[in-house]
Amino acid sequence: MTGTPDDAAERHVPVLLQRCVDLLAPALAEPGAVLVDCTLGMGGHSEAVLEQVPTARVVGIDRDPEAIARASRRLERFGDRFRAVHAVYDEIGDVVSDVVGGPVQGVLMDLGVSSLQIDEADRGFSYAHDAPLDMRMDPTTGQTAADVLNTYDERALTRILREYGEERFAQRVARAIVRRREQRPWERSAELVEVVRAAIPAATRTTGGNPAKRTFQALRIEVNGELEVLERAVPDAVDVLAVGGRVVVESYHSLEDRIVKRVLAAGATISAPPGLPVVPDEDQPYLRLLTRGAEEASAVERESNPRSASVRLRAAERTRSTPAHRRPHRPTDRPHDPGERTR
């Protein structure tokens, strides 16, 4: 099922939508300017840019074939101003080279799980619906959440629950997961919710929502390699920008925001040792930060769109070419299947 344009618009509520457009628009003012929407999802951010910035073209990347199909239907009225690419967004360098052929004027990343993935109950992302434990953003490739639960040892499970889910009781939950799989393999999300709830002390279950929320988040991040992908993608996103181009990133997890902050701050900082009377040209900053720290959603938006409660937005503008010694090193091999290129 590919849905309709109206269906996509109704189901997807973009976070900080107008703020993202306002930050990107100055860089997209010249005819033929290109924005790469690295996390196309249901196409809400791309649609707003195409509507409000008539000079812009958009290349939308997503690893989820269903998202590509729905967003393409939603945005087909823009004709050749929009092009969808089925890829993981750490492939942005290859996508820009193949599709655009040169530097771009804008890059947008809206990280985390999309509305489509949460709403499709049979994908297993939501702890509110019983479903197979899948959680793959691209359901055509890679390990599932069930694979992780059935094969990782207690120590590995504890690590991902603690690091990615910030779960205080990570070891207790991991031990319960291993104990339960000795009886039968993990298959369904409702079973996981039940085991997690039982593993967490009753006194701590009265606040903070469903106690399985943190475990589901940790599994999703692990299954999709989200932090590893982001570590590669943010430097490459900066690298594909033309001078004057802008990058905007929305994060929903402290570890995501830390990666983004580190890359943007490094580009906006002199790299020479302190105390030099003259800073060499190659050590001058090549980015200008456009936000003071990380911006959050307003109280009004948090009330109307709960997904915006944890957002942290950072943005920067490229002011000059990146010196050769500060350019990202890209491995030739990536640990995932890039899948189908364009659609």
Give me the percent of the chain exceeding a pLDDT of 90: 73
Flag whether 105 is marked binding: no
Flag whether 117 is marked binding: yes
Domain boundaries, the chain: 17-115+227-326, 123-224
d(CA 217, CA 222): 9
Residue 340 confidence (pLDDT) above 50: no
The dihedral built from the CA positions of residue 115, 119, 124 and 130, taken in this order, carries a sign that is positive
Flag whether 245 is marked binding: no
Of 33-42, 228-237, 325-334, the one with minimum mean pLDDT is: 325-334
Q: Which residue would you say has higher pLDDT here, 207 or 62?
A: 62
187-227 pLDDT, tens digit per residue, is 999 999 999 999 998 877 666 678 889 999 999 999 999 99
Q: Give the full edge-to-edge strand order of the sheet including 56-62.
A: 82-86, 56-62, 33-37, 104-110, 241-251, 312-318, 287-289
Phi, psi torsion values for 173, nearest 5 degrees: -65, -45
Q: Which residues, in sequence order, are CB contacts of 113 under 8 Å at separation 6+?
A: 125, 137, 220
Flag whether 112 is marked binding: no
d(CA 298, CA 145): 34
Flag whether 281 is marked binding: no
What average pLDDT does range 97-113 have in this prediction?
A: 94
The H-or-E segment that residue 82 falls in is strand 82-86
The CATH homologous superfamily for domain 17-115+227-326 is: Vaccinia Virus protein VP39 (3.40.50.150)
Tokens standing for residue 73: 């239907």
Question: pTM for the full model?
Answer: 0.87
Flag whether 101 is marked binding: no
The CATH homologous superfamily for domain 123-224 is: Putative methyltransferase TM0872, insert domain (1.10.150.170)
pLDDT of residue 1: 41
Going by pLDDT thresholds of 50, 70 and 90, the confidence category of residue 335 is: very low
Query: Running DSSP on this structure, what letter comes out for residue 329?
Result: P
Contact yes or no for 107/237 (Cβ under 8 A)? yes
Residue 7 confidence (pLDDT) above 70: no
Flag whether 127 is marked binding: no
pLDDT of residue 195: 95
130-170 pLDDT, tens digit per residue, is 899 999 999 888 999 999 999 999 999 999 999 999 999 99
